[in-house]
């Protein structure tokens, strides 16, 4: 992965608790037609052989431009990146990692990306904004949110009563999930104060300075914060809390990230999309099965600064690749919960059936 690593790290500030980072693009491009023709012209072959060689040199592989966030979604792609770097992938891939979802969504809407790994509710918002030009291919990460504290007395959502929870993302998925779970457990923001910070680093700083502070963080920030403060523990897993509520309320799944494609690109390049989907599933499985190896790859790519931290974080990142009807059931149920709470969280209305890619 030397080529991919060098190119990504050239523009990507190392992942840290400070939240610093950037985006990077790695391009694996097909040879140009001019190069292929010049090469074949030097050989003494018949015109038909020359044409065949040119076609083969250019290859039937299309170029697919992929955007992902610098976290679990990119972690699930590392084996695809490795295959692209070695020329073994089924497509030519251009990878773009960013630290903020709006960087990726802006490129996607403009047509500068073909596939993107983004927050689940953002996918629904984009579907509505683009009048259906967004299709979900898979769920790439399930729940990654954890309540972190050195306070051992917190063992349930009810134990948060009277406390302040420091978190990021007012009006984003963590906020909606926390408020939903509070309400489902008979609490409100009158009972639990939610104090919002600009970035996860600020939450981690509060946790470090105040022994009994309570924070809500996503992985891998949780593991990184715990590495800096050995008193911290994951006192509540919001995925588990969500499942407790949903056992009696409909059985939806807490979803963090999904993989989407521009519908117009899908219609013109279905085979390439299916190839990516298969390689993505293979990569997600490999990350979970080869944690130590995947952690080193994650560190080499600058997604997480240190491999030992990545190795500890991966089992809690819920990296997956749910497709087809399983994806539709999990995602539609999750979006319904968000819609019932605040329709604007999913773009004002729930997506139609064409939102879900069922090959």
* Ordered per-residue pLDDT tens for the chain, 359 residues: 444 433 333 333 333 323 333 334 343 434 333 333 333 333 334 444 444 443 444 458 999 999 999 889 899 999 999 999 999 999 999 999 998 888 999 999 999 999 999 999 999 999 999 999 999 999 999 999 999 999 989 999 999 999 999 999 888 888 999 999 999 999 998 999 999 998 888 998 999 888 789 999 999 899 989 988 888 999 999 999 999 988 876 668 899 999 999 999 999 999 999 999 999 999 999 999 999 999 999 999 999 889 999 999 999 999 999 999 999 999 999 999 999 989 999 999 999 999 999 98
Distance CA 206, CA 257 (A): 27
Q: Output the CATH code of domain 2-142+254-355.
A: 3.40.190.10
Question: Identical fold at 2-142+254-355 and 145-249?
Answer: yes
The total number of residues written for the chain in this structure: 359
Going from N- to C-terminal start, the domains of the chain cover: 2-142+254-355, 145-249
Distance CA 210, CA 235 (A): 16
For residue 24, how far is the Cα from the chain centroid?
16
Backbone angles phi, psi at 180, to 5 degrees: -65, -45
pLDDT of residue 346: 95
Is the pTM higher than 0.75? Answer: yes
- For 145-249, CATH number out of 3.40.50.300, 3.40.190.10, 3.40.50.2020, 3.40.309.10 equals 3.40.190.10
């Amino acid at each position: 992965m030397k080529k991919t690593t060098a190119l990504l790290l050239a523009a990507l500030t190392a992942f840290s608790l400070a939240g610093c980072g950037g985006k990077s693009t790695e391009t694996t491009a097909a040879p140009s037609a001019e190069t292929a023709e010049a090469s074949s012209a030097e050989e003494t072959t018949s015109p038909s052989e020359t044409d065949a060689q040119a076609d083969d040199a250019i290859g039937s592989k299309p170029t697919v431009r992929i955007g992902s966030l610098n976290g679990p979604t990119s972690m699930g792609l590392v084996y695809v990146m490795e295959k692209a770097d070695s020329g073994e992938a089924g497509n030519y891939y251009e990878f773009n990692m960013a630290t903020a979802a709006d960087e990726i969504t802006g490129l996607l809407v403009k047509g500068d990306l073909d596939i993107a790994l983004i927050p689940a509710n953002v996918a629904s918002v984009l579907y509505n904004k683009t009048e259906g030009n967004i299709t979900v291919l898979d769920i790439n990460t399930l729940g990654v949110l954890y309540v972190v504290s050195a306070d051992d007395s917190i063992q349930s959502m009810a134990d948060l009563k009277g406390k302040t929870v420091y978190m990021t993302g007012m009006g984003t998925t963590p906020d909606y999930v926390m408020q939903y779970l509070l309400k489902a457990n008979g609490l409100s923001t009158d009972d639990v104060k939610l104090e919002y910070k600009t970035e996860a680093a600020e939450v981690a700083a509060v946790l470090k300075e105040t022994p009994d502070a309570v924070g809500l963080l996503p992985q891998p920030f949780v593991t990184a914060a715990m590495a800096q403060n050995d008193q911290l523990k994951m006192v509540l897993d919001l995925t588990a809390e969500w499942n407790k509520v949903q056992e009696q309320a409909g059985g939806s799944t807490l979803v963090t990230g999904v993989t989407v494609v521009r519908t117009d690109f899908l219609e013109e390049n279905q085979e390439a999309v299916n190839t990516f989907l298969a390689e993505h599933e293979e990569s997600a499985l490999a990350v979970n099965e080869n944690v130590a190896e995947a952690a080193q790859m994650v560190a080499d790519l600058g997604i997480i600064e240190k491999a030992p931290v990545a190795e500890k974080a991966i089992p809690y990142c819920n990296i997956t690749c749910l497709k087809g009807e399983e994806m539709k059931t999990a995602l539609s149920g999750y979006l319904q919960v968000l819609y019932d709470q605040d329709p604007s969280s999913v773009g004002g209305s729930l997506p139609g059936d064409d939102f879900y890619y069922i090959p």
